[in-house]
Structure 1
């Protein structure tokens, strides 16, 4: 789907056909940053006033904000040709609280697509959204559920691999194939080696994209931010993705599994771990 076809304008609203969500065309209708509680009250005011003809606006959850990011782009990290206006190169609030501390909530930075959490008493921007997405899974966080519920059970372990019935991918059961932190370049080599060795009897092993890694996050947990039923071993706090940062090609996106954040690291530095993914299934499934 081209970006022109992905986004459809309806006056000052924009429908994202990739997710089914409808966003305010203005990415800053409030005009200034707000505290988290103020952001929620601002959206409630939009609903009382039937902003753009509707009364079901809300603060997006972390996965919904994340779904807008295009990591091949920067300043802003949005798909080229997008129809949005007033996009601030700054942090945007989500509705998702941080599991380890309810005084904090998740936010996304539109300049490069990083996602972290911060004190609800700080001021960040608000980008209202409407609708429910059949294409996005719920975050697992305590905010009002928006998205598709997770399958139960989600995981199917088989030898050295684990099938994720939600994402449809197979992961290495050992979540530290370095072992230990390695550079991004070494991580890519390890993926090729695992593929050549047919880890778990499967091929197609690779470093996951950042969107695939983020899907592992359970926003209702921290240390690690992972479903407690997930049957992985050797879990580590940070992981490389295959996704190069659009901000700087010498950097790649990384997942902070301990907390659930998305950041970047210099490819040459041995700071992150390796967790591989394959699109193949075990023959026993």
Structure 2
């Protein structure tokens, strides 16, 4: 089991983006679920930095190639590092999408990296991952280190390169999806990969709602002891992202999943600190991570609980 990494969000915000007390909000800043970060999060090892949470080693220079490259050029640049045994290692690679996303802070912007990180030369823009987009194979996933959005783009586009290697396994594991990951119960499903329980009716109500409406919906579910539980919550953005299987699309969920109707977009409980009048949203068609204006009735709520 690989519980999603906790975000570092500790504040809560109203729909207009004003900071408010967290008690009773049901927001990410209150629930604080997920695998905790170690202290210190990073160990500076000179030209390299070890992430003590994931066991991944990154180049301390977050832009060693200096200029943006195409996806194929990025892969070739990492191969050249291995031929040259850069920093004493020959197993550098372009990070996968989960690996690069694991670095993200949901409290800091420009760059969206954890406060006090030791990295240098960080570009607050787009960085390539090693993962192709299943829906559009001529595209690959990239992540915006200014604000943390995750999108895919044409492989002939030009983005930054940040090499990574696996040093020693950290306390958090990046488990791969399997075909039998979900265990169904009455009206809800257990994700054996993450230890989360999801409502099988993944669109409550059967129309898009605003962010405040989504939070209120979950509060009422708990008042009603929905399905015998009173600990439902709106998932944070990392918990929503944990559902994604990058090998699938439309929806980007593991084949054989038990959810009868998956909507195109879901609210998370995590506010975007780039503009706190927006909250993070998962788009299920291929797994994009973007934001939605909190007062817009544009997305759905998918309640979750920890098991």
Determine the structure 2 residue equivalent to 1:24: 59
Q: Is the 8 A contact 2:134 2:247 kept in 1?
A: yes
The whole-number CA distance in structure 1 between the counterparts of 2:217 and 2:239 is 18
Q: Cα distance, 1:233 vs. partner? A: 2.3
Q: Is the 8 A contact 2:179 2:256 kept in 1?
A: no
Paired residue secondary structure (1:180): strand
| 2:253 aligned with 1:226 | yes
Determine the structure 1 residue equivalent to 2:5: none
| 2:106 aligned with 1:71 | yes
Match of 1:50 among 72, 82, 85: 85
User: Where does 1:117-132 land on structure 2 (aligned, <5 Å)?
Assistant: 117-131=152-166
Q: Which moved more, 1:197-206 or 1:13-22?
A: 197-206
Q: Deviations over 1:2-29 (max 9, x none)?
A: 6760100111100001111000111100
Paired residue secondary structure (1:39): helix
User: Where does 1:122-201 land on structure 2 (aligned, <5 Å)?
Assistant: 122-131=157-166, 135-137=172-174, 148-150=175-177, 153-201=180-228
The whole-number CA distance in structure 2 between the counterparts of 1:237 and 1:136 is 28
* Superposition misfits of 4+ residues, deviation over 6 angstroms: none
Question: Per the alignment, do residues 50 and 263 of structure 1 end up closer, same or farther by CA in structure 2, a change over 3 Å counting?
Answer: same
Q: Deviations over 1:88-128 (max 9, x none)?
A: 01110000000012110000000110001000000000000
Paired residue secondary structure (2:289): strand
The whole-number CA distance in structure 1 between the counterparts of 2:225 and 2:119 is 45
Determine the structure 1 residue equivalent to 2:26: none
Paired residue secondary structure (2:77): helix
| 2:42 aligned with 1:15 | no
TM-score by structure 2 length? 0.85
Q: Cα distance, 1:71 vs. partner? A: 1.1
Q: Deviations over 1:124-156 (max 9, x none)?
A: 00000001756243xxxxxxxxxx344562111
TM-score by structure 1 length? 0.91
The whole-number CA distance in structure 1 between the counterparts of 2:142 and 2:38 is 24
Q: Is the 8 A contact 2:94 2:129 kept in 1?
A: yes
Aligned length: 270
Q: Cα distance, 1:237 vs. partner? A: 0.6
The whole-number CA distance in structure 1 between the counterparts of 2:93 and 2:204 is 41
Match of 1:36 among 71, 75, 78: 71
CA-based RMSD: 1.4
Q: Cα distance, 1:78 vs. partner? A: 0.8
Match of 1:101 among 118, 136, 142: 136
| 2:230 aligned with 1:203 | yes
Q: Cα distance, 1:178 vs. partner? A: 2.1
Q: Is the 8 A contact 1:182 1:270 kept in 2?
A: yes
